[in-house]
Structure 1
Amino acid sequence: MRPEILFPLFAPARSLPGIGPRLEKLVEKLAGTKVIDLLWHLPSGLIDRRSRPKIAEVRDGEVATIEVTVGLHIPPRTKRLPYRVHVFDETGEMQIVFFNPRPDYIAKTMPEGERRILSGRVEFYQGSPQMTHPDHIVPLDELKDLPLLESVYPLTAGLPLKSIQKAVRGALPLVPDLPEWQNGPWLKAQRWGPWRPSLLDAHAPQSARDVEPSAPARARLAYDELLANQLALGLVRLRMRRLPGRSIEGDGHLRWKVEAALPFALTGAQARSLAEIDADMKSQHRMLRLLQGDVGSGKTVVALLAMLTAVEAGFQAAMMAPTEILARQHYATLAPLCEVAGVRIELLTGREKGKRREDLLGAAASGEVDILVGTHALFQEDVAFRALAFAVVDEQHRFGVHQRLMLTSKGGPGTDVLVMTATPIPRTLTLTAYGDMDVSRLDEKPPGRKPVDTRALPLERLEDVVSSLNRAIAGNAQVYWVCPLVEESDEVDAAAAEQRYEHLHAVFGNIVGLVHGRMKPVDKDAVMARFESGEIRILVATTVIEVGVNVPGATVMVIEHAERFGLAQLHQLRGRVGRGGDKSSCLLLYQAPLGETAAARIKIMRETEDGFRIAEEDLRLRGAGELLGTRQSGLPNFRIADIEEQKDLLAAAHDDARMIIERDPDLESERGKALRILLYLFERDEAIRYLRSG
């Protein structure tokens, strides 16, 4: 249960002053539905009204607070013109400008002949200073009420800054004093204050430096958030360790047959990763391991050899992929190798229906099927295994932890889990997103893979590219042509896939095919099969082909509007070519002029094919939230911490969390009890349920 001391922070945001029914939805969109969400919504800037120049000293574009005498009012002749008020002091005069005002309101707030304090941004118009819609207009005796320093918050359309400021002012008195969960000497070394004063200070910056991530108040709050994240992941991992596993050891007879049938020897990285997986499977604990491998590094083979160990020991294995195309691809790759070993492998997707599905389910439940490959159809209720001991989850970031657990529950408590991703993840993100797992990395390419020649061309040269395809096709090449969007949209005037297909079809005829996400799976598969057989030579596609599509004959990749793709995506797409022994090329077509970030991405793509280096650069260029292409990528969405800027804090939080779990795994000590409050504060309640006594 959430501790009572936190109840005020979890009250609805609408209970705060200034948030009525109309603004409630906007506040929810911006920050969230609770008081604490607004408290985590920290200022992004500062308005400093301490500057008190005379009119002759005001500077263009600066915020000034000036004492003036109100002069002549000049109402507009038509509604389209502004209402102007002349004001002056002993050094000069200026105009105050209002659009669509209520004249009675202006007459009341700025009576002619009286003195007023005005505060707002000054702009020069035709050489003279003016102030449009001052932020504050106050009589001299109310000067003490004028906020000299005002926090500026990130906003969303339709939500006024004043409303957020008012709501936050209402939320701050609700902040309770909480017991200290940080290590005393560490706080002292960092020169950080206690939690409550730090939160109040973060909302009351005194200078521009106070809104930077390195400001002491902000760094303290960011560290709290990172520690909550690392501690929660550590507790999940501890629970996995505590759950009874089963020791699985094969005799190698099936594995040996498959290794003998492979056209190449395993790379050092594959052998190393397999040894780590074998050790996990042998141990009495449950395995939860992440296998990271770049495009084409041979993850599928490692997964198969690990699954065969389970089959040798008399158990079953399952492999789950996020899309039907990918599930079928895995099945097509694994089936011939399983045949060599005499192992029964089957495919289960949403498309298997009726009698076929019933037979498959029966064979899985009786243990006749050794390995079952499928989409999330695998964890529907009617799917049962006789003895599932090993589950492989591909492209983890497309599945939530919840789905991962659902699959493992099919095998009873001891199922070992291997999670694979072809999106190389920088070390910092591995800690925050996959801290509950052990990690193996495949950082070598199988022998015989040639580098892909990557070039960048402006879109004006599109016709040159089209005519050069004639040569490629005459030389027996197959081509992917990737478009950024499926349909013309007003917001993005992309060359839509359907339009590009029509264009290329007019030039090359029936050797051009089209796949996109809106097609029925059956139609998509039919086109892919024709491309794999070589009947289709140019495949126009959206990013549905980003992951897992394997056509060794394809040697040319054209990516249109490359500037719209993230680095990880460009790298994934490029990985679709260069899979056979032939020389391959990748053309990045971009809309000139290129922005700074897009230019940097294209430069990196031309410099390297190392997915891990590309991932680090992508994190630097885009930030963590965007890294895996979507916000729903299973990555934690940090409210305060910036893990690229605050890598060092993340590493410290990781070590701190590990030490806490070693010394006080059930959080029973004084600090442990305070840490429970920290977990509730950052809504990591899930982790508390894993404590023996919580």
Structure 2
Amino acid sequence: MSSRPEVLFPLFGDLTKLAGIGPKSVQLLGQLDISAPRDLAYTLPHSGIDRALRMSLRDAVVPGVVTVEVEIGQHRPSRAKGGAYRIDVQDSETGFQLVYFHARGDYLTKLLPVGQRRIVSGRVELFDGMAQMVHPDHVLKREAADSLPRFEPVYPLTAGLTLKAMTKAVADVLDRLPDLAEWISPGQKAKEGWPGWRDALRQAHAPESMADLVAGAPARMRLAYDEFMAHQLTLALARAHRRRAAGLVSQGSGHLRNKVLKSLPYQPTGAQMRAMDEIAADMARPERMNRLLQGDVGSGKTLVAFMALLVAVEAGGQGVMMAPTEILARQHLEGLQPLAEAAGVVLELLTGRDKGGERQAKLAALERGDIQILVGTHAVFQKDVLFQDLRIAIVDEQHRFGVRQRMELGRKGAAADVLVMTATPIPRSLALAQYGDMEVSVLDEKPPGRKPIQTALVSVERLDEVVSHLRRAISEGRQAYWVCPLVEESESVPLMAAEQRFQSLRAALGDGVVGLVHGQLPPSEKDAAMAAFVAGKTSVLVATTVIEVGVNVPNATIMVIEQAESFGLAQLHQLRGRVGRGAQASTCLLLYQPPLAETGMKRLTTLRETEDGFRISEVDLEMRGSGDLIGTAQSGLPRFRVGDMEHQSDLMAVAQSDARALLSEDPDLAGPRGQAARVLLWLMRQDEAIRLISVG
């Protein structure tokens, strides 16, 4: 089934076939992202106007829209050209004026003949104590009163497109809606009391009050569910398709993992043990693993990831772990080194910096299988990098790593298992929308011995106190990070800010105490500054946000973030997670420039009140919306016309389990409900999914 079903033709036809839509309107509708009648059907009213007929203006709330029957009195044309043309009118209890500008008198005397009765509806305001309705929206004879809806829907518009034109075109689309077979399971539909698809659209476009415009109204909920269902079906089909592709069975003996567990000075958390078991079980199955490991700052992802790499080695294969930047790759190497020594496996690093003979030697060892675990940047993708037997690829920080790279990696080891790690807790709704094709393991416990971090808001006016606090801490042998704001527009401004802060702190704290790292430094200098800080040679590291992810210095117990209000919540949370890694109590000082805007205040106080990354990500999502959270450009997040990912995560979860259940009962979507679901996929333009069924 590779072409659109005929029943949907009316919804994907030419817009100019609709009432009142010409070539110019088509361009205007294009600005609203409407290119077919189907898009108009899914452009729901966002508000409404109460047009219920009243006895008199006297009991109405003014200013506001009023609909009332009046007797038409005297016309008073304007003396000035284009001035106000006034008409006196009287309802059952009081008098007021209708006002028109640039009006043609002959037109108005026909529309509003003196002495006759008309129903007028429009916005009424008081002007010098006199009630006026300027340019009424509707003027009707009594017998046409029924043509005015009691509650008039208001649509999103764009300059040049009137509400009248939009309403007319939508009405025409609603008349053409086909009758589609039901794709929702009868149980789900009955439980929620949802209307059928066609009725749902008609009801959503004919609200009777504000209550019909909220997301929880049955018609709207059903339409949102349909969008989520189509999206989740697409993800479930991709997942099923990948599962059909042969994977490798990597069954480990456990002997290397036991060595590592014995060498640890602590007991892994329950969450870590659970994630390790889930991953090992996936790797032992013949299908390819595609799992997301989600863990908050400091929840111990590194250990879980290393255990997964060891399963591959125990099974006689190799594993690779990839990071988005060189600093991070080196960090992983340092974190994994002691674990690799405990297990007795060969671990190597490959980055863009490896050149010539050294690189050739590494590549040869990799192809022979002498290197068992490789850590690297995207240099691992290059054509000449060949593994003897790659079993698992672990990708760090999904957000900088699109689906395309995930597939590239899959090709390196045609059947390799994939584990994606992210240190950014993702709210459930986004995780479902973005990673719905993956299984998810969550690390939601902190390893033992981690002390909570004290977070304080400090006005920049108290900078001197902060510096003397630092001086005291350094004399006690502690270390601190000082993060400078990164001003997006220009690279040179933050450099100056970082350089100046570096100079002023050096002057205050003494030579050789303060180091500096920023994006413009040559890699060797960056590494040297980091190394000096890690080794404890410098006590304060001034940095732009290069240290956001992955840096691990247990002795660093103070984090100062300048202009904290200019950072996103998730980013602040990541930065704060750089301290609190040792046995000592840590502090995070958020320096802000007063006065703080309301959103800045909310971000900083949220951070002060909680260290729970999932809670923080939810507040961040409420404040910024889903596109910003992941950077829409590469987020691959779907855009829904009716559904709201942020506030309807429960509905998304229901759609996910329904989609998976439908496919497990009917993998080829061949039964009656399966056929209906295929129509839904076409309706929602999920062509990718349709291709998967046809090749499936």
Question: For the residues of structure 2 that align with 1:157 and 1:521, how far apart are their CA atoms?
Answer: 51
Contact 1:497 1:541 in 2 (8 A): no
Match of 1:267 among 254, 266, 269: 269
Aligned-partner Cα distance in 1 for 2:165–2:355: 55
**Percent identical across equivalent pairs?**
53
- Write the deviation string for residues 247-279 of structure 1: whole angstroms up to 9, x where unpaired: 212334443454455444433322222122222
1:343 is matched with 345
Q: Do 2:89 and 2:98's aligned partners in 1 also have CA atoms closer than 8 Å?
A: no
Secondary structure (helix, strand or coil) at the match of 1:568 reads: helix
Equivalent residue, structure 2, for 1:547: 549
- Is the 1:625–1:637 Cα contact (8 Å) retained in structure 2? no
The alpha-carbon deviation at position 418 of structure 1 amounts to: 1.3
Partner of 2:65: 63
Corresponding residue for 2:240? Answer: 238
Q: What CA deviation, in whole Å up to 9, does each residue of 1:259-307 have, x standing for no partner?
A: 4554444333222221222222222222222222111111112111211
1:445 alignment counterpart:
446
Deviation at 1:135, TM superposition (A): 4.3
1:11 offset after TM fit, Å?
A: 5.1
Unaligned stretches of 5+ residues in structure 1? none
- CA distance in 2 between counterparts of 1:254 and 1:33 reads 58
Distance 1:160 1:374 in 2: 57
Partner SS, residue 419 of structure 2: strand
Q: Which residue of 2 aligns with 1:661?
A: 663
Q: Which runs of 5+ in 2 are unaligned?
A: none
With over 3 angstroms needed to count, the CA separation of the structure-2 counterparts of 1:692 and 1:11, relative to structure 1, is: closer
Q: Give the secondary-structure state (helix, strand or coil) at the position aligned to 1:179.
A: coil
Could you say what secondary structure the match of 1:295 adopts?
coil
Letter matched to residue 436 of structure 1: D
Aligned to 2:391, the other structure's residue is in SS state strand
Change (3 A) 1:139 1:213: same
Deviation at 1:407, TM superposition (A): 0.8
Task: Show the counterpart of 2:579.
Answer: 577
Conserved? CA contact 1:485–1:495, under 8 Å: no
Task: Normalising by structure 1, report the TM-score.
Answer: 0.85
1:85 matches 2:91: no
Give the structure 1 partner of residue 502 of structure 2: 505
Distance 2:468 2:451 in 1: 25
Partner of 2:312: 310
**Which one of 387, 390, 394 corresponds to residue 392 of structure 2?**
390
- Shift of the 351–114 alpha-carbon distance from structure 1 to 2, 3 Å rule, reads farther
- 1:294 aligned residue: 296
- In 2, Cα distance between the equivalents of 1:372 and 1:12? 55
Q: 2:216 aligns with which of 196, 214, 217?
A: 214
Task: Tell me how large the CA RMSD over aligned residues is.
Answer: 3.9
Aligned residue in 2 for 1:479: 480
Cα distance in 1 between the residues matched to 2:522 and 2:169: 48
Q: CA 1:288–1:149 in structure 2 vs 1: closer, same or farther (change >3 Å)?
A: same
Shift in Å, 1:569? 3.0
Of residues 517-526 and 204-213 in structure 1, the stretch that sits farther from structure 2 once superposed is 517-526
Q: 1:543 to 1:43 in 2, by over 3 A?
A: farther
Give the drift of 1:44. 1.4
Aligned equivalents of 1:593, 1:163: Cα separation in 2: 46
Q: 1:678 to 1:317 in 2, by over 3 A?
A: same
**Compared CA separation, residues 239 and 561, structure 1 to 2 (3 A):** same
Paired residue type of 1:372:
L
Q: Distance in 2 between matches of 1:354 and 1:107?
A: 88
In 2, distance between residues paired with 1:315 and 1:121? 75
CA contact (8 A) 1:478 1:553 kept: yes
Equivalent residue letter for 1:297: S
Structure 2 residue identity aligned to 1:639:
R
Q: Distance in 1 between matches of 2:86 and 2:279?
A: 79
What is the aligned counterpart of 2:153 among 125, 146, 151? 151
Alignment partners' CA distance in 2, 1:160 and 1:540:
56
Mapped to 2, the partners of 1:495 and 1:456 lie a distance apart of 27
Distance in 2, Cα, partners of 1:358 & 1:155? 61
The one-letter amino acid of 2:46's match is S
Separation (CA, whole Å) in 2 of partners of 1:53 and 1:495: 68
Residue in structure 2 matched with residue 195 of structure 1 by the alignment: 197
Does structure 2 conserve the Cα–Cα contact (< 8 Å) formed by 1:86 and 1:93? no
Cα distance change, pair 269–96 in 1 and its aligned pair in 2 (3 A): same
Is 1:674 aligned with 2:676? yes
- Matched residue SS, 2:635: coil
Measured after TM superposition, the shift of residue 417 of structure 1 is 1.4
Matches within 5 A, 1:407-556: 407-412=409-414, 414-462=415-463, 464-487=465-488, 497-498=494-495, 500-509=497-506, 525=527, 528-529=530-531, 531-534=533-536, 537-556=539-558
Superposition pairs for residues 332-411 of structure 1, below 5 Å? 332-339=334-341, 341-352=343-354, 357-411=359-413
Question: Which string of whole-angstrom CA distances, capped at 9 and with x for unpartnered residues, describes residues 346-369 of structure 1?
Answer: 333445455555554444344343
- Aligned-partner Cα distance in 2 for 1:334–1:326: 12
CA contact (8 A) 2:498 2:544 kept: no
Q: CA deviation at 1:178?
A: 1.6
Separation in 1, partners of 2:538, 2:339:
27
Q: Is the 1:45–1:211 Cα contact (8 Å) retained in structure 2? A: yes
Aligned with residue 96 of structure 1, among 89, 92, 99: 99
Distance 1:246 1:95 in 2: 79
- Following superposition, the deviation at residue 634 of structure 1 comes to 4.3
The amino acid that maps onto 2:183 is W
Aligned in 2, Cα 1:20/1:484: closer, same or farther, shift over 3 Å?
farther
Cα offsets for 1:314-361 (capped at 9, x unmatched):
212111223333233223322454355453333334454555555544
Query: 1:76: Cα distance to partner?
Result: 6.1
